[in-house]
Amino acid sequence: MSPWTPNSRGLSPQYGVKLKVCQQELALLLAESRALFFEEGLTLKDGRPSPYFVNFGLFRTGRLISELGRIMSDFLVDTATVADFDVLVGPSYKGSALAVSCAEALWRIHKVDKGFDYDRKEIKSHGEGSRKGALFVTGALFDGARVLIIDDVATTMGTKFDILGQLTSEANKNGHSYYPAGVALYLDREQTTAVYDVDNQPLTAIKGQDAVKNFKIKTGLEVQTILGIGETVDYLYREKIPVSQNGQMIPLTEAAVAKFKQYVDIYGV
């Protein structure tokens, strides 16, 4: 049996569940880098309050981003996903670094050579983009390419819908066909989407839709996630790992975990 299985969504928080080695490593990296932090007064992009935030932009050293690449490359190999795609595509900006580090680790560790690409925020109209305009950077995409989208966190899945649209646009412009092979993510926030009132203000204490489930239904694509936030917080709490809390690196307090569990009860899938 493979040592890896994708995170089982909808069952977390799975308190007390033993994590696999690479899941533990990812949880420890999230804590060490301060990419996972707890703070008073945090607000998500959708306008809702949150007791914690996850920012993969804080994996900002060679060692940290290399470790992220290794973990995802192991995941793709051990789940046999590596056989299902030709090109890794990471949505800009954070997904760009993740695609590069994963492709590098696939070659360095597993001797599997895969292409990687990422989108531009503005279409390039000079150089190689002079005639058609280049929406993607490296040119790794080719006619018939099977594309695996790689990104940091599952929240609303809006970025994943956007990159699929960009891939379709690029394929149509070049007379190509690209075949989405699925989505591979590092962390699932395991929460529902926001619900808004008539003035487009987020309503608190109301569950929205399961964004990942909706993405699967609408696209027909599989979404694999290495780690869920519930099991991440549980592991860090049980192991007394220092985590950034209001600017201090200390083991998770009972108060912080209680607020997290309350948040999950309100907004979780």
Q: Rounded to an integer, what distance in angstroms lies between the CA atom of residue 128 and that of residue 101?
A: 25
Catalytic-role residue among 110, 124, 207, 216 = 124
C-alpha to C-alpha distance for 80 and 30, rounded to whole angstroms: 25
* Active site annotation includes 261: no
Other CB atoms within a 10 A radius of the CB of residue 226 amount to 24
DSSP-assigned letter for residue 200:
S
Sheet harboring 49-54: ordered strands across? 49-54, 36-43, 242-245, 248-251
Q: Give the Cα separation of 9 and 226 in Å (integer).
A: 11
Alpha-carbon distances of 120 from 61, 88, 104, 228, rounded to whole Å: 23, 15, 21, 29
C-alpha span between 143 and 28 (Å, rounded):
40
Q: Which of 18, 45, 121, 126 is catalytic?
A: 126
Indicate if 126 belongs to the active site: yes
Q: Report in angstroms the alpha-carbon separations of 32 from 136, 160, 236, 243.
A: 32, 27, 11, 7
Q: Which residues pair with 210 in a beta bridge?
A: 192
Asked whether 269 and 190 are in contact (CB, 8 A), the reply is yes
- Which residues are catalytic, by number? 124, 126
